[in-house]
Amino acid sequence: MAIELTARQMEIVRLVERHAPITGEQLANMLGVSRPTLRSDLALLVMLGLIDAKPKVGYFPGPARTAGSAARGLAGVKVKDVMAVPVSVGEQSTVHDAVVALFTENVDGLIVVDREQRFTGIVTAKDLLKVTIGGADASALPVSLVMTRVPNVATVSPEDEAIEALRLMLARELDCLPVVRGRDGALEAVGRVTLRHLAQRFAGNPQPPAPREGGGRR
């Protein structure tokens, strides 16, 4: 899953780290190229989390910084070292219940479990928004009708390397992953890991995330 950056892309990362916030036009001038020439480079670097973009402000260093330094900063760190507790909702719960849980727990997605507390999928704010826009009656629908089910959900285990979780999130453009383990032939959700958790660890914060810290979009 390694991605080799070009010399220009590495220079963009360096310039952003040194001069942030910096606009695309300023980057183009420094590199002696046109702004359209940088479009694909900037899009790739944002997707990889090496830089971040804020509308009308410019570019900032991203959570991953550089692939090499990210790997070093997370070397030897397991998912269990950076994960937060799972925030879950039952399949039988209503869309209204799920929306309330999103706001109460300050997250953008919920882990879905069945009556035996087995992990069966996830439901995100985007999923819920799609059905609630259609009409007021949608709030009474069960979560089971709007969730994304296993095996169509990317997951990690507590013993996975944190750097592998980061690579998976960057490759699939995810901000959060459920952390699961096997239990009696099924899956049990034991946590969640977000780009924020990994960025905090990379930045030198060794403390585990707060139990109710907000997560991210799927």
**How does DSSP assign 57-109, residue by residue?**
TEEEE-TT--HHHHHHHTTT-BHHHH-B---EEETTSBHHHHHHHHHHHT-SE
- What pLDDT is stored for residue 172 in this prediction? 78
Q: What is the chain's mean pLDDT, rounded?
A: 83
Task: Report whether 11 contacts 33 (CB < 8 A).
Answer: no
Domain housing 27: 7-62
Lowest mean pLDDT among 6-20, 28-42, 61-75, 127-141: 61-75
How do residues 88-119 score in pLDDT, each as one tens digit? 999 999 999 999 999 999 888 999 999 999 99
Closest Cα to residue 132, out of 104, 105, 176, 98?
98
Burial call 171-200: b when 16+ CB within 10 Å, e when fewer: eeebbbbbbbeeeeeebbbbbbbbbbbbbb
At residue 205 the predicted structure's pLDDT band, cuts being 50, 70 and 90, is low
Judge if 166 and 135 occupy the same domain: yes
- Range picked from 51-55, 64-68, 95-99 for highest mean pLDDT: 95-99
Statement: residue 158 has pLDDT above 60: yes
The better pLDDT of the pair 47, 26 is held by 26
Domains held by the chain: number:
2
Judge if 27 and 113 occupy the same domain: no
Statement: residue 132 has pLDDT above 50: yes
Residue 218 lies in a domain: no
Mean pLDDT computed over 119-127: 94
At residue 174 the predicted structure's pLDDT band, cuts being 50, 70 and 90, is confident
Judge if 98 and 191 occupy the same domain: yes
**192 DSSP β-pair partners:** 84, 178
Judge if 138 and 186 occupy the same domain: yes
- What pLDDT is stored for residue 157 in this prediction? 97
Judge if 114 and 145 occupy the same domain: yes
Mean pLDDT computed over 54-83: 76
Residue listed under structure tokens 């010399």: 7
- What pLDDT is stored for residue 40 in this prediction? 78
The better pLDDT of the pair 2, 35 is held by 35
Task: Report whether 61 contacts 149 (CB < 8 A).
Answer: no
Statement: residue 1 has pLDDT above 50: no
- What pLDDT is stored for residue 122 in this prediction? 96
Judge if 121 and 167 occupy the same domain: yes
Statement: residue 51 has pLDDT above 60: yes
Residue 207 lies in a domain: no
Judge if 188 and 94 occupy the same domain: yes
Kindly report the CATH number assigned to the domain that includes residue 111: 3.10.580.10
